[in-house]
Each structure stands twice: as C-alpha cells, then as structure tokens.
Amino acid sequence: MKIDILAFGAHPDDVELGCGGTLHKAVINGKTVGIIDLTKGELGTRGDIKTRELEATNAAKVLGASFRKNLGMSDGFLTNSKENQLLIIENIRKYQPEIVFCNSFEDRHPDHSKACQLVRESCFLSGLVKIMTKDKDGNSQKFWRPNSVYSYIQWKSLKPEFVVDISSSIDIKISAVECYKSQFYNPSSDEINTPISTKNFIKSVRYRAADLGRLTNLGYAEGFVSDRLVAVDSIFDLK
C-alpha cells in the first residue's frame, strides 16, 4: 500500500497538534495519508492506554487517514536504537511515502526531539540497499527513501521555514485534537491538571495557527522545519 504522506508522532495526539490541518487538506485534495505513533503515551498523567488508543482511532477518522498504527516503543524512554530504527524502516518500505512528517528537533517533551532524530535517521537508512528487512509474510522488502522529511512545530514557538495554508481544514484539525478528551481541557474531568489540559492550551492550538496565517497573509497555517533546503518548481509557487 503506497501512500503520499506518512506522519510519525512520539505520542498519540502529536500529529493532530502539529500537522493535523495539513494532513486533512492533503486528504481532501486526493492524497493518501497514514499515521504511526511510536509509543502508546502510557506515561501520560491523565487517561490510560485504552482510552488514548480509542481517542487516536477517532482522531484518525476525523482527519481521513487511511490507517493508524502504534509501534509500542517506550514512552518517556524512547531510544534511537537499531531495533527501533529497523521497525520504522520496515514501515517506510511497506508504505513507500513520498513525504514523511515527524516531531521537531527541539521541543518541551524530550521524546519529541528523540523521535525526530530516530525517524530522520531511519528514513535515510531505509534507502540503503544492503539493509535487509522483511514484511510480515517473510518477503524481502525493497529499499525506499522518502523524497522529503519535514518536522512539524508543536509546543515551542519555533520559526518555521515554510507554512501550509490550512484555512479550509482548521475546524477539522481542532475536532481531531478535541478527540483527546482525556488529555486536553475537559471541565468535567477530575484528574490532575497538566500544562496541556488547560483551557488556554486548547485555545492556543487555534490562535497559533491564526498567528502563522497572519504572518503569511493566510487565514490559518501550520509551520514546518526542514533539515535541507526547500526547493520549488516555480517562483510562482511561493505566496
């Protein structure tokens, strides 16, 4: 199953917060999108694994993703190990994405920067012919390297190298984020408050997208960072 975009997140909800609007816009424009969560978010202060899994499934449906899967790596102790790299390589080769999204180089949660390095290195290694992997049926997989790997911006207000206009998908992005009722603002919850469970945080998801839109003459936008120069086919592609 070849797809256009494969979005990785260290935890369920990372993808929704960082690039949910971009994913939904790609889907409504006829592109195929898949989501892979590296961990189950088992160390999250609020909620539990089963609740988070259900929320992630519902959010993926809202965004229109073709599939969502969880690799079951260790939340809070994510490592850039050979074992984890091979697991990611197997999935990159299985879905053969043209574009990969991943967490940012720098962020509040240490798993985010670790996930960024892990995914980026795995994308490179996936293109090496002599690294052998097999699919679930035991068949050898063909090497594959995505054309582009971009990091979405999440907690920290990093300066993006480019933005995607998500004006038509902002409401869907917010709906996908709000699927995580155990994690974000919920006045009915009696669980411990966290930095992301405040009313201010959930409101910031929209107004930060609005601010990137303001800076680029758009309604709403999501920002991305690349580890290489970004090229366009024509100067008229730039807005």
pLDDT value at residue 239: 84
CB neighbours of 100 closer than 8 A, spacing ≥ 6?
5, 6, 7, 8, 92, 119, 123, 146, 148, 149, 150
pLDDT reading at 109 higher than 90: yes
Question: Per-residue pLDDT averaged across 140-150, rounded?
Answer: 97
Give the CATH number of the domain where residue 155 resides.
3.40.50.10320
Dump pLDDT digits (tens) for 47-102.
Answer: 999 999 999 999 999 999 999 999 999 999 999 999 999 999 999 999 999 999 99
Number of domains in the chain: 1
**More confident position, 237 or 93:** 93
pLDDT value at residue 188: 86
Dump pLDDT digits (tens) for 2-26.
Answer: 999 999 999 999 999 999 999 999 9
Q: How does residue 190 score in pLDDT terms, banded at 50, 70 and 90?
A: confident
Measured CA to CA, the distance from residue 181 to residue 45 in angstroms comes to: 13
Mean pLDDT for all residues in the chain: 96
Domain around 213: 5-237
pLDDT reading at 176 higher than 90: yes
**What would the two tokens of residue 228 be?**
């290489």
pLDDT reading at 43 higher than 90: yes
